[in-house]
């Protein structure tokens, strides 16, 4: 039984020293019985060996069953790791966007979209590395997470019945931040595009900065806190109404774009794109208002 002997040799290299001989004897007996049963059914001995070994599985997988369960981050603290990792990464993303918003205008520097993505990925990777390293240290030193013990059920009084959709909220933080960079001419998508905007854009420049900036801070606070509160729902409604108030003069403006590149066709296309974006943002804001109103209308 050369195949079985070679198989057991591979398994033996991966087994713990304690009890190795007993484990190998048990595996050998199980394989020999399987080969004997299959061989009696009419198959050749080699085919019977191959079938028995295939049923038992890869040597690494088999040897792993006899080791104590090992975790890089164990199940007791993994939920906290996943919870904290997502929120720290979003906080780092927000800090990166905020620093870009205030630092690069002072340096009179613009950013290309590719540079922004590369910087964000680098920051997020380093953040994930250090958070993971911290939780691995907790796992292997046997420390406990103190905030589990400090949790107070009275904090639930402030929470809303609307669940926080973490992915959606984190996406809002990213979109709000990128919009602020683009709106303030820090983030550019194409050097060759020349656009001379109409006067309406000057009128709404600061209102848009204020409202989207507050929306950015609101979504960031939701990510950090982990739940909606009634004041957050009310703030969401007010800010979305503010967005609708900004979109109204854009939709009614006589001139959105005075000049765009050298041809008249791209200018018309650009104006249609602007109207389409205005309609999409308006529908998005109305949907967010509806979602915020539903839990507010429920009795306390």
According to DSSP, the β-strands at 111-112 and 187-188 are parallel
Extract the tokens encoding 98: 């905020």
CB-CB neighbours of 293 under 10 Å: 13
What is the H or E stretch that residue 111 is in?
strand 111-112
- Spell out the per-residue pLDDT of the chain, length 300, in tens: 578 888 888 888 888 888 888 999 998 888 888 888 887 777 788 888 888 888 888 888 888 888 876 778 887 788 888 888 988 999 888 888 888 777 766 656 666 767 777 888 888 899 999 999 988 888 888 776 776 667 666 666 666 667 788 889 999 999 999 899 888 888 776 555 566 777 888 899 999 999 999 999 999 999 888 888 889 999 999 999 999 999 999 988 888 776 666 555 567 777 888 899 999 999 999 999 999 998 888 765
Extract the tokens encoding 79: 């939920």
C-alpha–C-alpha distance, residues 250 and 220, integer Å: 28
Q: Is there a contact between 87 and 164 (Cβ–Cβ < 8 Å)?
A: no
Q: Which 8-state DSSP code applies to residue 198?
A: -
Q: Is there a contact between 176 and 212 (Cβ–Cβ < 8 Å)?
A: yes
Extract the tokens encoding 273: 């794109």
């Amino acid at each position: 039984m050369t195949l079985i002997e070679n198989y057991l040799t591979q398994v033996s290299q991966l087994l713990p020293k304690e009890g190795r001989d007993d484990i190998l004897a048990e595996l050998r007996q199980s394989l020999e019985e399987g080969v004997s049963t299959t061989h009696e059914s009419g198959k050749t001995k080699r085919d019977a060996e191959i079938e028995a070994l295939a049923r038992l599985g890869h040597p690494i997988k088999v040897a792993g069953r006899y080791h104590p369960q090992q975790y890089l981050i164990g199940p007791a603290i993994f939920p906290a790791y996943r919870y904290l990792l997502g929120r720290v990464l979003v906080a780092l993303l927000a800090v990166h966007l905020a620093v870009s918003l205030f630092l690069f205008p002072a340096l009179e520097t613009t950013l290309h979209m590719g540079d922004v993505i590369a910087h964000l990925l680098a920051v997020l990777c380093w953040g994930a590395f250090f958070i993971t390293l911290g939780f691995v240290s907790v796992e292997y030193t046997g420390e406990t997470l103190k905030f589990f013990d400090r949790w107070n059920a009275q904090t639930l009084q402030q929470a809303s019945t609307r669940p926080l959709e973490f992915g959606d909220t984190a996406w809002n933080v990213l979109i709000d931040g990128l919009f602020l960079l683009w709106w303030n001419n820090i983030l550019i998508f194409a050097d060759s595009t020349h656009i001379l905007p109409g006067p309406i854009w000057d009128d709404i420049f600061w209102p848009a900065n204020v409202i989207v900036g507050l929306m950015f801070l609101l979504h960031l606070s939701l990510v950090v806190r982990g739940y909606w509160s009634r004041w957050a729902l009310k703030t969401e409604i007010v800010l979305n109404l503010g967005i609708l108030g900004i979109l109204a003069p854009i939709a009614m403006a006589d001139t959105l774009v005075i000049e765009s590149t050298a041809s008249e066709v791209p200018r018309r296309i650009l104006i249609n794109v602007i109207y389409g974006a205005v309609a999409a943002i308006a529908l998005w804001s109305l949907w967010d208002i509806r979602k915020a109103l539903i839990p507010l209308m429920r009795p306390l």
